[in-house]
């Protein structure tokens, strides 16, 4: 539990009121971190945070140090144990990138540093998974890095390329041959800042096409449950390759592969990478895709009770400091919907008749 401290001596009425208020917001903060706030409590906490910068600093401090009490989240505890076990059992990850002897007590730090897979983020409601898979006969070791629902992560590959992973995304690459081929496989969404190398192009392999670059910045969205793949170029040059066909992108363009057709569209590059800045920007997407995005972003389940909503188009902006209830309230008044809370982190959306 969050603790604000206990005063000593005889309590005045004013002091007692202060204590009760602190206890109230202590409970609200803990419920927020556990994902258990009711809509009215969301409004109360938001108003309290807006009233004083000190309150926001306190929340950030608690978030950075918060871990659930033992036994309160067995899923988290199990995920944490699994992550530590995988790192400790896969010392080949270190050997795959550099022949260095390090003290055993610093194994976790060294694995991440030497392998150049530096994961940034606070372990709150999930664990980022980094796994090294043992090779089959004649094959190389490869590493898989995942960002779970409701989380984002940042990592640096062995060649210096930086990658930001959006929620529920995964990249895989060879631990033995990466520096030779600079290839990664992506399922989900990621922003790449590729280290330039004229002699070794960097390749991103997606379900629909490959992306080849020498050194540039671009965003790729290639979720398995979406029926399209998008690549938005921020700067530099990108080559889209599908079979024998190749298409070059210019900064401010987006390649979209959908219904077995590749199209090139002009875009706002700020929108393409908005999720990196903790914003969700939508421009004419289907309501069904909006729901998929919100589920990943907030780690919730949202069911659509009326299929007529599938074809509704939505444009708008949400910020990560907004709760899912605030987002649904905004949608309620701008998209003519109703929503019902069905359980912990479960919601149902229907048409407002």
pLDDT digits (tens, 9 = 90+) for 131-147: 554 444 455 677 888 88
Angstrom distance (rounded) from CA 314 to CA 331: 9
CA distances (Å), origin 203, targets 71, 153, 233, 347: 43, 20, 14, 39
Q: Over the stretch 7-36, which tens digit does the pLDDT of each residue have?
A: 444 556 666 666 667 778 788 877 776 666
- CB burial of residue 292 (10 Å; 0-12, 13-18, 19+): middle
Q: For the whole model, what pTM was predicted?
A: 0.63
Angstrom distance (rounded) from CA 55 to CA 25: 10
Residue 115 structure tokens: 């392998």
**Taking the domain 74-274, which CATH number applies?**
2.60.120.1440
- CB burial of residue 288 (10 Å; 0-12, 13-18, 19+): middle
Highest mean pLDDT among 46-50, 56-60, 109-113, 250-254: 250-254
Helix 39-51 and helix 13-33, axial crossing angle in degrees, nearest 10: 120
**Taking the domain 278-351, which CATH number applies?**
3.55.50.30
Angstrom distance (rounded) from CA 101 to CA 199: 31
Angstrom distance (rounded) from CA 156 to CA 162: 4
| All structural domains of the chain with their residue ranges | 13-65, 74-274, 278-351
Helix (H, G, I), strand (E, B) or coil at 287: helix
Helix (H, G, I), strand (E, B) or coil at 158: coil
Angstrom distance (rounded) from CA 96 to CA 310: 47
Q: Taking phi first (over 0 means left), then psi (-120 to 50 degrees means alpha), and beta for anything else, what does residue 341 get?
A: beta
Residue 330: CB atoms within 10 A of its CB come to: 14
Looking at residue 190, its pLDDT comes to 96
Query: Of how many residues is the chain composed?
Result: 353
Q: Which residues pair with 171 in a beta bridge?
A: 145, 186
Same fold, 74-274 and 278-351: no
Q: Over the stretch 248-284, which tens digit does the pLDDT of each residue have?
A: 999 999 999 998 899 999 988 888 888 988 888 888 8
Say whether pLDDT at 326 is over 50: yes
Contacts of 131 (CB under 8 A, 6+ apart): 86, 90, 143, 144
Residue, of 73 and 107, whose pLDDT is higher: 73
Looking at residue 30, its pLDDT comes to 76
Angstrom distance (rounded) from CA 93 to CA 101: 13
Highest mean pLDDT among 25-34, 117-126, 232-241, 285-294: 232-241
């Amino acid at each position: 539990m969050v603790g604000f401290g206990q005063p000593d001596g005889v309590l005045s009425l004013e002091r007692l009121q202060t204590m009760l208020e602190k206890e109230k917001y202590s409970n609200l903060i803990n419920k927020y971190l556990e994902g258990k706030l009711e809509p009215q409590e969301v409004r109360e906490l938001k108003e309290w945070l807006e009233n004083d910068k000190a309150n926001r600093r306190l929340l950030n401090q608690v978030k950075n140090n918060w871990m659930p009490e033992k036994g309160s989240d067995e899923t988290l505890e199990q995920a944490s144990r699994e992550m530590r076990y995988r790192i400790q059992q896969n010392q080949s990850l270190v050997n795959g990138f550099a022949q260095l002897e390090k003290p055993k007590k610093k194994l976790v730090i060294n694995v991440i540093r030497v392998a150049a897979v530096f994961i940034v983020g606070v372990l709150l409601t999930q664990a980022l998974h980094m796994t090294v898979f043992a090779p089959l006969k004649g094959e190389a070791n490869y590493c898989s890095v995942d960002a779970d629902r409701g989380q984002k992560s940042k990592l640096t590959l062995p060649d210096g390329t930086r990658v930001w992973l959006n929620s529920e995304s995964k990249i895989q690459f060879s631990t033995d041959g990466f520096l030779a081929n600079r290839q990664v496989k992506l399922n989900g969404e990621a922003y790449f800042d590729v280290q330039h190398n004229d002699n070794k192009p960097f390749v991103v392999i997606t379900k629909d096409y490959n992306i080849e670059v020498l050194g540039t910045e671009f965003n790729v969205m290639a979720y398995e449950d979406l029926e399209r793949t998008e690549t938005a170029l921020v700067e530099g040059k990108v080559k889209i390759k599908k079979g024998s066909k190749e298409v070059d992108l210019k900064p401010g363009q987006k390649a979209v592969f959908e219904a077995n057709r590749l199209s090139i569209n002009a875009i706002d590059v700020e929108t393409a990478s908005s999720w990196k800045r903790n914003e969700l920007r939508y421009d004419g997407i289907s309501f069904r895709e909006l729901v998929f995005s919100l589920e990943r972003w907030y780690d919730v389940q949202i069911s659509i009770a009326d299929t007529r909503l599938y074809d509704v188009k939505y444009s708008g902006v949400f910020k990560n400091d907004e709760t899912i209830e605030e987002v649904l309230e905004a949608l309620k008044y701008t998209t003519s919907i109703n929503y019902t809370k069905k359980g912990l982190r479960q919601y149902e959306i229907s048409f407002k008749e």
